[in-house]
Amino acid sequence: MKIGLIGAGRWGKCYINTLNHIPGIKLAYLASGNPKSISLIPSDCKITQDWRYLLEDTSLDGVIIATPPETHMEIALGAISAGLPVLIEKPMVLSLSDARNLNKKASDCEVLTMVGHTHLFSAAFRELKIKSQSLGKLKSIRSIGGNWGPFRPDTPMLWDWAPHDIAMSIDLSGSYPIQIEAKQTGWMQQASGIGESFTILLGYESGACTEIHISNIQKDKQRIFEASYEGGSLIYDDLADKKLVFLCSSKLIPGPVSIDKSMPLTNLVAEFCRAIGEGRKSHQSLQLGLQVVEVLVECQMSLNDRLK
């Protein structure tokens, strides 16, 4: 299967490495504005500085967009118009109108369109969802994502960090939040952008709630997602050796949960290519991508209200 990639920045390079290591999948075309990108790709991979040329290649089976979010809309619409299945790195777009229009375009044209909320494809998160089915009612979710940087001039920190946590929360709860609040808990000017910390609170009709803490001015890197149920808690720690732990409420004894060693990005790309191979015209990640953008917009409105 031949895949085109648009963008060879930090995440684009991760996609290149992933595509080069999945049997049966070939990086056939790269669009990158950096001439040095040629050193990253196989010798038989075509390269262009203009992504429009890539979309004209009829030999491609699909395309991945790993460019800055402000460019996603134009490129994704071009791919859909060309009939090319497309995987868009998160956040899918930076406005609600764009998210709705992109959703409609993909549906009207019946072109497979996916959004890369990578942690949904983690083996640990997938196992968490399976184990949770026997633990009774969901009570609460606590999510922490933080590190020092990156400070992106082209992407607001809220939109850069929060999509993962919001996507996991909506996916696990199986419902859209009826209450959405956000508050800024830290701010720091950096040479390449602004450092910020936020707390996001989501409430669901079931009575469950989510508390999200994100920051790009945090000394130590963290990515923790804890779901508490009537029968115990499941803790997904992406940076731990034991990435998934079960804490039984009756015994208070933690125990690691066995998971496979597959990488989230590998699983995401494999799912994209599998969907292409099956001839699928839609994927649930696009609707989830729209919901994530809706929550982010509500969060931004909540933050603006606090400034009045």
**Which residue ranges form the domains of the chain, and what is each CATH number?**
2-117+266-282 (3.40.50.720), 119-262+296-307 (3.30.360.10)
Task: Round the average pLDDT of the chain to a whole number and report it.
Answer: 94
Task: Check residue 259 and give its pLDDT.
Answer: 87
Residue 200 has pLDDT above 70, yes or no: yes
Strand partners, 64: 5, 87
Specify the range with the lowest mean pLDDT, choosing from 53-67, 94-108, 248-262.
248-262
Mean pLDDT, residues 51-66 = 98
Task: Check residue 249 and give its pLDDT.
Answer: 64
Task: Check residue 256 and give its pLDDT.
Answer: 76
Report cis status (omega within 30 of 0) of the bond before 264: no
Mean pLDDT, residues 128-152 = 95
192 vs 129, more confident: 129
pLDDT band at 308 (very low <50, low <70, confident <90, very high): low
Specify the range with the lowest mean pLDDT, choosing from 152-166, 201-215, 243-257.
243-257
Task: Assign 252 to helix, strand or coil.
Answer: coil
Task: Check residue 157 and give its pLDDT.
Answer: 94
Torsion of CA 159, 78, 264, 103, to 10 degrees: 60
Q: Residue 55: what are its φ and ψ, rounded to 5°? A: -70, -15
Task: Check residue 192 and give its pLDDT.
Answer: 79
Angle, in degrees to the nearest 10, between helices 157-173 and 284-307: 120
Residue 129 has pLDDT above 80, yes or no: yes
- Candidates 136, 92, 140; CA nearest to 113 is 92
Task: Check residue 64 and give its pLDDT.
Answer: 98
Mean pLDDT, residues 217-228 = 96
Residue 253 has pLDDT above 90, yes or no: no
Residue 46 has pLDDT above 60, yes or no: yes
Between CA 248 and CA 283 the distance in angstroms is 34
Residue 254 has pLDDT above 80, yes or no: no
pLDDT band at 154 (very low <50, low <70, confident <90, very high): confident
pLDDT band at 121 (very low <50, low <70, confident <90, very high): very high
Residue 247 has pLDDT above 70, yes or no: yes
Look up residue 36 and give its DSSP letter.
G
Pairing label, strands 138-148, 179-190: unpaired
Mean pLDDT, residues 199-222 = 97
Specify the range with the lowest mean pLDDT, choosing from 20-24, 216-220, 258-262.
258-262
Beta-strand ranges (E) seen in 171-303 are 179-190, 193-203, 209-215, 217-229, 232-237, 244-247, 254-256
Take residue 307 and report the two structure tokens written for it.
Answer: 């400034």
Task: Check residue 104 and give its pLDDT.
Answer: 98
Cβ atoms of 275 and 114 within 8 Å: the answer is: yes
Task: Check residue 305 and give its pLDDT.
Answer: 85
Q: How many CA atoms lie within 13 A of 189 on its CB side?
A: 0
Between CA 49 and CA 6 the distance in angstroms is 9
Share of the chain above pLDDT 70, in %: 97
Mean pLDDT, residues 254-267 = 86
Task: Check residue 250 and give its pLDDT.
Answer: 55
Residue 252 has pLDDT above 60, yes or no: no
Pairing label, strands 232-237, 26-31: unpaired
Q: Say how far residue 207 (Cα) sits from the centre of its chain.
A: 26
- Candidates 149, 131, 96, 89; CA nearest to 233 is 131
Torsion of CA 121, 125, 128, 133, to 10 degrees: -40
Residue 251 has pLDDT above 80, yes or no: no
Mean pLDDT, residues 254-280 = 91
| Separation in Å, CA 226 to CA 142, 205, 233, 264 | 5, 20, 7, 18
| Separation in Å, CA 89 to CA 63, 70, 86, 132, 176 | 11, 12, 10, 28, 21
Mean pLDDT, residues 177-188 = 96
Task: Assign 303 to helix, strand or coil.
Answer: helix
pLDDT band at 286 (very low <50, low <70, confident <90, very high): very high
